[in-house]
């Protein structure tokens, strides 16, 4: 059974990582895709390996209102409708405390991770009203529990959680569902870049495996499977939900970090304490 047969999905950040895995899962489930990315090289690379009459690529930046207004109009012109908006585009930099974060860095992460959702809703909601469609936001576990050295990023993901719930209430009268998925660690190009920026980068893989009670840091396909469920009719009575796709990380995250600190192996917090000493 194709869960998304003939559905049109507007997917931001769909050429890499979780977004790309979602694009493949949605297409396999029968969806027609409008894939948005602000990276021209990534867009071209993806076009070369993932293509078809039911896949349309758009170069656009979610932080720019005009880009998203144009992308929504273009998607409707190509496919005639929009059933799903998946706000997956996001950035994680900088890896800093609040006081070390510059104005420019703060604004950039908020403009992409939060204002990007504002733009897709502002310019796409009328299309979703026509189809009684759904919105899915890619959040993060750290939006709920926090994370050292990622003040701006965690703040945006906390905002995504609250925004998801408020939008769910606002748009429920129109039959529109709004949900979010909240992964912990997931191996993506962005996570690998993040890993290289950490104080003890050589131990990051062990750290990421360790924070998940199921024993490993997954690839993006596990999140894509959850996303497919959340935008399908299988989840037709679910709205305002922040779905953890974490391998149980929220259950053992702090306990693992405490043990790492005791053993002198922590890859994040020990360095902060050392700087403060």
Q: For residue 183, what pLDDT is reported?
A: 95
Mean pLDDT score, 108-114: 98
Domains and CATH numbers, the chain: 8-193+218-250 (3.40.50.720)
CA distances, 126 to each of 44, 49, 135, 247, 266 (Å): 30, 32, 12, 36, 48
Q: For residue 197, what pLDDT is reported?
A: 62
The angle formed by the CA atoms of residues 84, 87 and 89, to the nearest 5 degrees, is 140
Tell me: the pLDDT tens digits for 163-215? Answer: 999 999 999 999 999 999 999 888 877 777 766 666 665 667 777 888 888 88
- Residue 153 known to be catalytic: yes
The active-site residue, picked from 20, 26, 123, 153, is 153
Q: Which of 197, 277, 202, 215 is nearest to 252 (CA)?
A: 215
């Amino acid at each position: 059974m194709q869960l998304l047969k003939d559905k049109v999905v507007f997917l931001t950040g769909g050429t890499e990582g979780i977004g790309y895995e979602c694009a493949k899962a949605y297409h396999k489930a029968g969806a027609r895709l409008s894939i948005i990315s602000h990276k021209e090289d990534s867009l071209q690379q993806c076009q070369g390996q993932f293509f078809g009459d039911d896949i349309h690529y758009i170069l656009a930046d979610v932080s720019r209102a005009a880009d998203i207004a144009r992308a929504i109009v273009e998607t409707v012109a190509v496919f005639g409708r929009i059933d799903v908006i998946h706000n997956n585009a996001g950035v994680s930099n900088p890896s800093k405390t609040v006081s070390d974060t510059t104005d420019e860095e703060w604004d950039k992460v908020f403009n992409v991770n939060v204002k990007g959702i504002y733009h897709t809703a502002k310019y796409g909601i009328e299309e979703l009203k026509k189809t009684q469609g759904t919105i899915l936001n890619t959040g993060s576990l750290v939006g709920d529990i926090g994370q050292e050295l990622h003040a701006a990023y965690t703040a945006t993901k906390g905002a995504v959680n609250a925004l998801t719930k408020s939008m769910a209430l606002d748009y429920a009268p129109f039959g529109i569902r709004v949900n979010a998925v909240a992964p912990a660690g997931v191996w993506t190009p962005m996570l690998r870049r993040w890993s290289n920026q950490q104080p003890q980068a050589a131990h990051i893989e062990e750290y990421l495996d360790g924070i998940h009670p199921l024993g490993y840091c997954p690839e993006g396909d596990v999140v894509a499977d959850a996303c497919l469920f959340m935008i399908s009719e299988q989840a037709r009575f679910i709205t305002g939900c922040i779905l953890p796709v974490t391998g149980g990380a929220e259950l053992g995250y702090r306990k693992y970090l405490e043990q790492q600190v005791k053993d002198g192996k922590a890859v994040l917090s020990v360095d902060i304490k050392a700087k403060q000493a």
